[in-house]
Structure 1
Amino acid sequence: MVRFTSAVLAVFLYLIPAALGVHLHGRDINEPLLESYDYIVVGCGISGLVVSNRLSEISSRTVLCIEAGDADHYEAIIQDPVYVGADIGGIYDWDLETVPQTQLDGNTRPMPQGKVLGGGSILNAMCWNRGGSDDFDAWEAFGNPGWGWASILPETYTPVYSDEIADEYSIHYNPAVHGTSGPVQVSYPKYFYPQSINLFAGMNLLGLPTQFDPNDGTSAGPAFVPTDLDPNNQTRSDARRTYFDPYVTRSNFHVITGQHVTRVLIEGTGGNGEVDNPTSGGNDNGNGPASGNNDGFGFGPGGSTPPLSGQMPPRFVRRQDPGNSNLRVSGVEFAPNASAPRQTVYATREVIVAAGALHSAQLLQLSGIGPELLLNQYNITVALSLPGVGNNLQDHPLVGTFYPYNNASYPSPTELTTNATYNLEAEQEYDTDKTGPWTAGSPNALAFNPLPLISNNSASILSNASSQNPTDYLVAGLDPTIIAGYTAQKQSLVTRLAQNTVAAYEIINNNAGSLTVSVMHPFSRGTCYIQSADPFQPPAIDPRWLTNPVDRQVLIEALLFNRQILATPPMVELQAAQFVPPVDADEDAINQVINNGIRTEFHPSGTLAMLPLEQGGVVDSHLRVWGTQNLRVVDAGIFPVIPAAHLQAVVYGVAEKAADIIKADNLSSSAVPAPSSMATALSTALATSSEVAVPTSAVPTSSPTIATLSTMADSTILATSSVPVIPNPDNALYCFLNYEYICNLFS
């Protein structure tokens, strides 16, 4: 059966089972809630499901994970690797966008984020690499003991299926750095495009040797990275199918979907926002000497607090010193939509926010934890003045290129959309024995190149970076603690940019003529601030890509190095046509390509940094929010600096480590009873939720210890899985991460 059918028909057929409330031979995800739980986890993406699963291993502990999105229905567009990238912008995406990027072309950009059970692991490009050991050693050097390069391996690694293929494509591995009993299945596809051999050979000729193993901590150079691909059935091995579905009958592990957490409840704060023993906030942000003289929000000259006449009416502020852990949270408030009644559920031990770097920052701000002036602007009572919340936003900015290969003797992934016969044969091969081009959707032939090895201008760029004042390219008026934190980060970034063993940028190869480049260790810093007190309004996301000129210089050198790669004999054989950037483009033209082409690599991080309080930190090394007893953040928001990697493997590892920390911290602590006023039947909150069921066959009662934990058997996949939900399929495939830019130009 050909799956590239009408998008309209696909959407119609997809919606039928959801509307009818499909039941498989299992129990519904959404079921009546308890009045309280030991742990409440906000967000059921990668980190949320990992933490929830691991905490619920203790049978006497109850865990609730709350997800704003719905559960997928095992659609082919989610599971089959050929569809990688096709569901971005679809029903499982938050559909966020940035503010206008005035430093580029003045336009907004999409900021895709998973809004679905499993989060980004449902939508991402499936790449599995952990970054370099230098990335995590830097985390530890910033004051986070125990967070250096470690061996948290939440995977079951399967080497390449053929020694001959492994030798031909230089795919080797170090068994010591791979897991053998983790939930996530990590392997290689059953098909490789030969263009990758040419690309790596070309880079080898230019002095960039192929990495032995891209996950052993030495991340510089070209490498075939594995993907979260189940080797048994060649389908996506995502967080839902590895950390939730096999444990659906665990009675102390509850998940609800379609419910938006609107705020974290802070003890002593009533529904009207009043605080016990309030004092007027005035110009005192309550953070003590470490906080400086302003709030960390970029208002006014030098960031100084405006006079009272220029502020909102005086606020009541809990005089809370984040250095003293005496603020306690009691639960969360949630609702399915803005017009529905708000419901509450209580946590007797901890609330763990795992909503991703953007939404976690937003939630803390809505709950009264964040930069004081920002909260005052939207009439939100300040429970804890913490300037770092929403600052330090980092991402991997990428620029798409287009060098189509004209040598017809090489099979191209574009044939899947231009040659119906070829695609039908590939589909049949995949359906019959799970081999062929349909297994090779993820871009796994990558390169992580150091600047000194690809540019004669590296010394000049390093000189420019070293001579910058830390405040030169930051948002004006930041709190001194945030500036102190960035000063430490900048020193680390400059040191590593000079090294031959540390990646400055990435090449993402799609085997059809796109060598996308992306900055791995950006110097630029952005913000994520609420723009309304309404929790159903998205935050103002400002990545501020390339505001620091060092990032732009790295991209220019990367694009110029692409020309050198294309000029090597192995790449000349592919007969590439240099369209974007043009072969004769000067620096001005290249800058124009950069300004128009910059997009996210879907890796927002850093907005709730794990740093000391005096460096603008939001969480400590136990991921506990500074100034609180029982509120933690576990997602990419805690990264002090973004690693040179696709982030999912890192997030899985962070979440596994976080679960161990939380378990250890709670060994000797006692639960706090839920408020006695809790009498609402919370099941009514789920009345409007879609009923989504999951199979219960072969359900273990504890986390896996065996080498293989496969995803659902074919017999348990919904009938709708063969019907794609794919808008404009002729343009959706194989544009990968720079899909919008390239597809719009050349469709």
Structure 2
Amino acid sequence: MGTTVDARKFAETKFDYIVVGGGTAGLTVASRLAEVSSLTIGVLEAGTSGYGDHNIDIPAYSGRALGGPYDWHFQTTPQPGLGGRTLPWNRGRVLGGSSALNYMTWNRGSKEDYDAWEELGNAGWGWDSLLPYFKKSERFHPPPPEFRDNHQASYNEPNTSLGNDGPINVSYTRDFSPSHALWHATFNELGVESNPAHLDGSNVGVWTTIVAVNPETATRSYATHYCLTPPKNLHILTDAMVEEIILEKDDGEWAATGVRFSRYGDTYDVSASREVILSAGSVQSPQLLELSGIGRVDILGVAGIPVKVESPKVGENLQEHIMLPMVFEVDPSLPHPDDLFVDEIAATAYEQYQRGKSGRLTVLPCSMCYLPVSRLAPADDVASLLSKSRELERFGPEEASILSRRFNADKQLGQVEFVFDLGNWNPSSSSDEEGKRHCSMLLVLQYPFSRGSIHIGPDAGPRAESPPTVYDQPLIDPKYYGGPHGELDLQIMLHGARFAQKICSTKPLKNIIPGPVSPSLDVVTDDDLRSWIVENTITDWHPIGTCAMGGRAGREDGVVDERLRVYGVKRLRVIDASVMPLHISAHLQATVYAIGEKGADMILEDAGLRSQ
């Protein structure tokens, strides 16, 4: 795809809007604004274009780009709740952002997840208001009837909840892992019903997920597909690192007038006559706000950055899905992802993929189940969790009520996600032994009570000798399992791990699982399992909340208002996952596209413009 290549020409262009970050939300916003032909839109992306790279495009290669040249290579601070471990936090440094690196899962949270945002005072962010924007981003490809029957690839018909003409192609995979045929039957045996309408406002139950794949080409569909052929009024500059937002006084108030960026050693200023839109993601949007003088007084003071706008919640409220990969042996006769590293097998699979857009290179993890804690734990334990959640002091009354009532017996919300896949997803577990193959049961906490932060350095101590820059990694501290909030998360994960063991010892799934690997049979007691959980928990790459909508509490509880405008700064918005005030029970990408779609619509509405 084409991008602007002349940085000086880009800097001299008279832009109406500058979008910082050419990722999932950024390209959504920019392309929708560019539909108004009278506007001129600029996008600055720190990474390069990976369009056409097999490690991005081919479904079964998902994950291979993690840790490579398209990755920011972030990592957390040492986590006391994880025994002092640090975790890698992979984020996309590439046109398309993390939508170019993820595992392509396409789902939505429950209706109540989004209604909770509105309940906090963020008008227009409930399920009913967001659904049109979910649909606007997507083009759903229905599978043939026999496919639905064979793979339980079902959805409500007639289809009223999925989009038909959006830029992101979503579909069921062409082929499935051999274990998938056992997934629904195993949960049904455990009394968990299949959910044929998991995109319609409730994801509770077992189902087969759709993915962001174009079935016509069998390739990843991601944010670059919003602008494969950019119109003349959309200018995209890659390999451009934004260093700060330029703020100037306007009638006594600070206003964003442009940004400063560098490219190949040269630095440029570029202006935006209408607005600057920050879409750098949950890690770098708060980082850039702080580097520009917007944030907590103490953080900026220690960093040596003059405070322009005091905004105490910048970088706070970090919430992240917590993932626990449990590893089991699996029948070695089954086709396995590791086979694709064998030259002869890989060559045959690639030939089939090229010839028919089918076969093993189209397989993705598609076996999903979301369950409330009440399905995982005895009633007395759930009551204890509810009681402990009400004792937590950090949250305001509205947020505390939302978080606690998710434990109520009548609430059918997916608090824990279960995903099954062939292969070893645990970086702490040893690789397959000779003659043995592994599978993974992933359990993911959806509504964490832990709250962390992302800030510029230094971490502690006296004032910095020189202010940090965008080239210094921010301090990412999710506070996994930290304090009484994290203790609640750990207890939920303990119940989830026990249920995961039960799943893998239930037929028909049990028929292909000879036994456990990690945790081993030596992990018996709850104390043993808790220790193992602490040693093996990893990230699920779903951070949100660091520039959250403040709702009725305003700047005391957030960074942006319900129109995504930054408190205390004119002509500056944040539009990405960081604006989400509470986490959702879902993978993020579909929601981030919807945020981008809605954000663009708000910009046009506030400017008195409409797409043409």
Same fold (TM over 0.5): yes
Q: CA offsets, 1:64-95, max 9 Å, x none? A: 00011111151111111110101100000000
Q: Is 1:494 paired with 2:476? A: no
Change in Cα spacing, 1:36 to 1:462, as seen in structure 2 (3 Å) is same
Change in Cα spacing, 1:659 to 1:429, as seen in structure 2 (3 Å) is same
Which residue number corresponds to residue 462 of structure 2? none
Q: 1:183 aligns with which of 167, 175, 194?
A: 167
Change in Cα spacing, 1:27 to 1:520, as seen in structure 2 (3 Å) is closer
Which residue number corresponds to residue 237 of structure 1? 221
Q: Is 1:514 paired with 2:440? A: yes
State the 1:105 CA deviation. 1.6
Contact residue 506 and residue 519 of structure 1 kept, 8 A: yes
CA distance in 1, matches of 2:313, 2:187: 41
CA distance in 2, matches of 1:433, 1:463: 52
CA distance in 1, matches of 2:201, 2:388: 25
Which residue number corresponds to residue 621 of structure 1? 562
Which residue number corresponds to residue 446 of structure 1? 368
CA distance in 2, matches of 1:101, 1:381: 30
TM-score by length of 1: 0.74
Contact residue 204 and residue 210 of structure 1 kept, 8 A: yes
Q: Is 1:429 paired with 2:340? A: no
Change in Cα spacing, 1:466 to 1:102, as seen in structure 2 (3 Å) is closer
State the 1:376 CA deviation. 1.1
Paired amino acid for 2:477: D
Q: CA offsets, 1:583-635, max 9 Å, x none? A: 45222222222112121111111000112315411111100011222110000
| CA RMSD between the two structures | 2.0
CA distance in 1, matches of 2:548, 2:244: 20
Larger Rg over CA atoms = 1
Which residue number corresponds to residue 95 of structure 1? 73
Which residue number corresponds to residue 673 of structure 1? none
Q: 1:578 aligns with which of 513, 516, 534?
A: 516
Contact residue 70 and residue 117 of structure 1 kept, 8 A: yes
Q: Is 1:533 paired with 2:468? A: yes
Contact residue 219 and residue 501 of structure 1 kept, 8 A: no
CA distance in 1, matches of 2:514, 2:248: 63
Q: SS at 1:514's partner residue?
A: strand
What count of residue pairs does the alignment treat as equivalent? 571
State the 1:462 CA deviation. 2.4
Contact residue 41 and residue 66 of structure 1 kept, 8 A: yes
State the 1:469 CA deviation. 2.8
Per mean C-alpha deviation after superposition, the further-off stretch among 29-38 and 148-157 is 29-38
Which residue number corresponds to residue 432 of structure 2? none
Q: What pairs with 1:688-707 in structure 2 (closer than 5 Å)?
A: none
Contact residue 296 and residue 312 of structure 2 kept, 8 A: yes
Change in Cα spacing, 1:656 to 1:411, as seen in structure 2 (3 Å) is same
Paired amino acid for 1:550: L
Change in Cα spacing, 1:116 to 1:426, as seen in structure 2 (3 Å) is same
Which residue number corresponds to residue 327 of structure 1? 254
Which residue number corresponds to residue 721 of structure 1? none
Which residue number corresponds to residue 499 of structure 2? 561
Q: Is 1:654 paired with 2:599? A: no
State the 1:336 CA deviation. 2.7
CA distance in 2, matches of 1:125, 1:497: 29
Q: 2:529 aligns with which of 578, 584, 590?
A: 590
Which residue number corresponds to residue 480 of structure 1? none
Which residue number corresponds to residue 298 of structure 1? none
State the 1:666 CA deviation. 0.5
Which residue number corresponds to residue 5 of structure 1? none
State the 1:142 CA deviation. 0.7
Which residue number corresponds to residue 550 of structure 1? 488
Q: What pairs with 1:175-574 in structure 2 (closer than 5 Å)?
A: 175-240=159-224, 242-246=225-229, 248=230, 250-268=231-249, 326-336=253-263, 340-406=265-331, 408=333, 410-417=334-341, 420-440=343-363, 442-456=364-378, 458-471=381-394, 483-484=395-396, 487-498=397-408, 499-512=410-423, 513-531=439-457, 532-547=467-482, 548-574=486-512
CA distance in 1, matches of 2:124, 2:584: 17
Q: SS at 1:167's partner residue?
A: helix
Q: SS at 1:569's partner residue?
A: coil
Q: Is 1:86 paired with 2:64? A: yes
Which residue number corresponds to residue 18 of structure 2? 40
Which residue number corresponds to residue 87 of structure 2? 109
Q: 1:637 aligns with which of 563, 570, 578?
A: 578
Contact residue 279 and residue 576 of structure 2 kept, 8 A: yes
State the 1:36 CA deviation. 2.9
CA distance in 2, matches of 1:614, 1:529: 18
**Structure 1: segments with no counterpart, 5+ residues:** 1-23, 270-275, 278-325, 472-482, 670-701, 704-747
Contact residue 407 and residue 575 of structure 1 kept, 8 A: no
Q: SS at 1:404's partner residue?
A: strand
State the 1:199 CA deviation. 2.4
Q: Is 1:163 paired with 2:145? A: yes
State the 1:131 CA deviation. 1.1
Q: SS at 2:277's partner residue?
A: strand
CA distance in 2, matches of 1:420, 1:70: 29
Q: 1:611 aligns with which of 550, 553, 559?
A: 550
TM-score by length of 2: 0.90
Paired amino acid for 1:128: W
Per mean C-alpha deviation after superposition, the further-off stretch among 28-37 and 609-618 is 28-37
State the 1:231 CA deviation. 0.9
State the 1:197 CA deviation. 2.5
Contact residue 373 and residue 382 of structure 2 kept, 8 A: no
Paired amino acid for 1:132: S
Q: What pairs with 1:115-154 in structure 2 (closer than 5 Å)?
A: 115-149=93-127, 150-151=130-131, 152=133, 153=135, 154=137
Contact residue 386 and residue 404 of structure 2 kept, 8 A: no
State the 1:502 CA deviation. 0.2
CA distance in 2, matches of 1:525, 1:429: 47
CA distance in 2, matches of 1:588, 1:27: 55
CA distance in 2, matches of 1:568, 1:73: 43
Contact residue 3 and residue 236 of structure 2 kept, 8 A: no
Contact residue 386 and residue 405 of structure 2 kept, 8 A: no
State the 1:39 CA deviation. 0.3
Per mean C-alpha deviation after superposition, the further-off stretch among 455-464 and 190-199 is 455-464
State the 1:28 CA deviation. 4.9
CA distance in 2, matches of 1:69, 1:445: 32
Q: CA offsets, 1:262-298, max 9 Å, x none? A: 11111139xxxxxx98xxxxxxxxxxxxxxxxxxxxx
CA distance in 2, matches of 1:625, 1:363: 13
Contact residue 159 and residue 173 of structure 1 kept, 8 A: no
CA distance in 1, matches of 2:602, 2:61: 37
CA distance in 2, matches of 1:70, 1:407: 40
Q: What pairs with 1:684-723 in structure 2 (closer than 5 Å)?
A: none
Which residue number corresponds to residue 715 of structure 1? none
State the 1:464 CA deviation. 4.1
Change in Cα spacing, 1:511 to 1:221, as seen in structure 2 (3 Å) is farther
Which residue number corresponds to residue 475 of structure 1? none
Contact residue 371 and residue 388 of structure 1 kept, 8 A: yes
Q: CA offsets, 1:658-683, max 9 Å, x none? A: 000000000179xxxxxxxxxxxxxx
CA distance in 2, matches of 1:581, 1:449: 22
Paired amino acid for 1:469: L
CA distance in 1, matches of 2:321, 2:407: 15
State the 1:210 CA deviation. 1.4
Per mean C-alpha deviation after superposition, the further-off stretch among 519-528 and 544-553 is 544-553
Q: SS at 1:328's partner residue?
A: strand
